[in-house]
Amino acid sequence: MAELLTDRTAVVTGGASGIGRGIALSLADHGADVVVADVTQTPSTPDTTPTVDAIGERTDARAVYVDCDVREPSDVEAAVGKAAEFGGIDVMVNNAGVAQAVEFLDSTVEDYHAMIDVHLRGTYLGCREAARAMLAGDGGSIINVSSTAADRGFDAPGAAFYAAAKGGIQSMTYALGEMLGPEIRVNAIKPGYTADTGLDAEKGTDEQRRDRAAETALERLGVPDDVGAAAVFLASDLSSYVTSESLLVDGGWVHTGGP
């Protein structure tokens, strides 16, 4: 299983919890050394084992944590630079994100920036710093975590800003694939509702989970490992002819179900 990403180093922002944790663990399962870049080491889920420790327990990969606020250029630069300890960055996963349940008509400019700055600014900085390092080396793969919200609007507090940010990530991904090729491939993953994340634990109810699962073609919710598997594909040579693409990991929800 380790052959796919052996001798490669990945940086995963927001890698302490949820989808980011699933991605970091999946990359390590397939042989990648991982820099976990986040504002905390403690997962916001029932299993509070830090991602770095979990990687050490279940794989032979090396892992290190670095404190990183993706809104800060110096933090992102330091996270990418940390990969030098393992030979330099090969894979960048821009996953860090936040959720904010604010009603649109009651929202403020500060609410807007709280969402846009983490998602879109953070992804921009991650892409920029990773690309600089990759172009100075042997190239690599950049994976941006967007969302089904980039394709479909939905009515919920905070949805307008979230959809705007995720749509921007998708469009930036397409543009960067053209700008940075052929040395660097740039792709996006668009997860649907994903269980076993901090957002799911905070916002989801059993009824909502059942209803959403029933709307998917596969009749179940996604879990972080599902998104992690997609990241392994996009990080590895299996996707060597794939760039400027966005991969839905939603059980078919966007195209076959949902209100």
Active site residues: 162
32 vs 2: CA distance, rounded Å = 8
Q: Is 259 helix (H, G, I), strand (E, B) or coil?
A: coil
Helix (H) or strand (E) run with residue 79 in it: helix 73-82
CB contact set of 187 (below 8 Å; sequence gap of 6+): 141, 142, 143, 144, 173, 177, 234, 239, 242, 243, 244, 245, 246, 247
Query: Quick one: tokens of 112?
Result: 């807007």
Q: Are 164 and 112 a contacting pair, CB within 8 Å?
A: no
Distances (CA, A) of 182 to 134, 167, 185, 240: 12, 24, 7, 10
